[in-house]
Structure 1
């Protein structure tokens, strides 16, 4: 139960010097009284023994923090006959109550009762009833213990509040990092979905110009117009995505289900064989409509990049209460990329569908093409 040695702070030095001085003065006052003939103990040999005990007890105050229980136990034992070390005993009890668990403190305090009884028997007061002396000693010792326990619990409370504040700060920091990560992921998905679609259109037309330098002037002009328009639109889309960093949530323009036909038309304008069949009854909710748009957009982008020249069939159906189903099938297998290897596009779609509480499936068709299908809830 011994404590570890530590360097005294300035406050510790002030407290230790003050307590040592008080114990010394308390003992000196009693010694002067005894030498003056007031209540000299009987037998007389108890007085010099008491003086030696007082000197040792006062000196021990300098090490009471390191061995508080041992120091207090020794003083409790010596308290059976010593009056001069009474103040040192109170300080020892106070120290144990502060630095040790309450159970240990109560054990030490309980030992004070038989010690006080022995003291009353060996050092009776001629003018005061022994019951009063005993009760006074136990009450004073209990007051020292109670004060120490109050400080002990107050320190524990302060420490727990500090720990709680530190944990709260750590949790807040982790939540902030998580929010930042989610924002980065959201921006990355938007950039991938929006720019991937536009840049794939540019790639198709630029590739046509590269492999057909002898194309008619009208075709070259038409391809150059598409490249210019989509380059401009890509810049506009990029500005909208970057606006996520500046504009409040809900103020950014987002695609809706009504924009799906235009998306398919843009792909058809890039000489892509794509068809759209829609059997949707009612107004599609914004979240579901935006998710359907992104699924079709990513599927068309992948078809242009990995299955050039394939026929793409887009089918959308659903109604309120039944949900909405979107299916995109291209007729040719993927080239240059394994369709089963989930890239960032498919991962982003999976996250979007999961946020909308829907399901997503994708894989190779029986004819060797590629199919992606999703179901999204559509509340009544």
Structure 2
């Protein structure tokens, strides 16, 4: 398969580290940073799941800059205290009190699943949380329980509205997980922008320019200078384009609309914060917490026509899509979640690719916390 050939070639300069070691390293680093052991295990599981699925923007690459660094400067609490603000039959509202988003998200989706078992559907809204890793992790918590999982989160402003240039909305993924009768679920986990900051960071670590159309400046012109873009996204001098691209000719209004839906559902249900309140800086440009909101929905097919019926039809639809006529020069049609499954199979054998820039970060954390790790890439 062409995808796998290109996949191996893409990581030619990386060191390969097996998942158990990498997950253990992340857990230990988080514990040294003040995270309780049980919470560090949840966070490590979310982060390693990203690396397993080939989503390099949200795994080990986020450990230091998003979590440990924010703990260090005091804008994220390593100990997560979850308050149940409201709990009714099929719904609940939680307050994460600026704790670790993965831990809050795990608790929220567990509650949604339990409610769905009893009532057919469950929804939990969260406020005052933090970045919770890949949204697909929580959607697949539901698929593993034989349910449909839906989740979304707002984020610091990055996307400009259609015909605008100011970063107003977060990348705001709207994520679905659907159980199938195949070896893997259908999981659509993507930002409502053409790209997202994590992928731009991957380009930055590789020293590559961005593709045109991902980012615009205040003149509405596309930007490709990755390093400066990362700085300008933070200061508001650049903005991501919504899914569909610049303007409305290619449907940019669709991504803009979906991003707005997620923003509202992550703020209005739980009386949380939104848009510019999530900037992460005060009026003097000093770092402050990002009080993010999330929502989690679980739907139990057993309360409709049954799980097996749902899985059979969902799987059949996916197989029919893959079997449809292919474009000239293409050897395969994928369905959502399939590339991540193939990445998992490949990486389960070879390990996780760690580029030189992340190798330096791992060495820095190991030395800082005096952890007993020695990697082959240090011998080169």
Compute the TM-score of the two structures, normalised by the length of structure 2.
Answer: 0.21
Structure with greater proportional strand content: 2
Structure with greater proportional helix content: 1
Structure with max Cα Rg: 1
